[in-house]
Structure 1
Amino acid sequence: MIIRRKSGYFVLSEKTRRNLGGPYKTKEEAKKRLRQVEFFKHFRK
């Protein structure tokens, strides 16, 4: 999930709310990171 805070956009885990990246200046940068996380979550299973 992507949330906005004062310092920028952050990518957080859906279940644990753990920080997976950020702060990013734009929402597009945060979306790119979220796609990377999803890719590696399903990579080589």
Structure 2
Amino acid sequence: MIVKRKAGYYVLSEKTRRNMGGPYKTRAEAVKRLGQVEYFKHLKG
């Protein structure tokens, strides 16, 4: 999930709310990172 905070956009885990990346200046950068996280999550099987 992507969350907007004071410092910028953060990518957080859905279940644990753990930080997976950020802060990013734009939402587009955060969406790109979220795609990377999802890709590697599904790569493991």
TM-score, scaled to structure 1: 0.96
- Counting aligned pairs with the same residue, the percent is 71
More helix by share: 2
The amino acid that maps onto 2:43 is F
Deviation per residue, 1:9-29 (Å, 9 max, x gap): 000000000000000000000
Unmatched 5+ residue regions in structure 2?
A: none
Which stretches of structure 1, 4 residues or more, deviate above 6 A after TM superposition?
none
Unmatched 5+ residue regions in structure 1?
A: none
Deviation per residue, 1:1-45 (Å, 9 max, x gap): 000001000000000000000000000000000000000000042
Corresponding residue for residue 15 of structure 2 = 15
> CA RMSD, aligned part only?
0.7
The residue correspondences of 1:21-32 to structure 2 (distance < 5 A) are 21-32=21-32
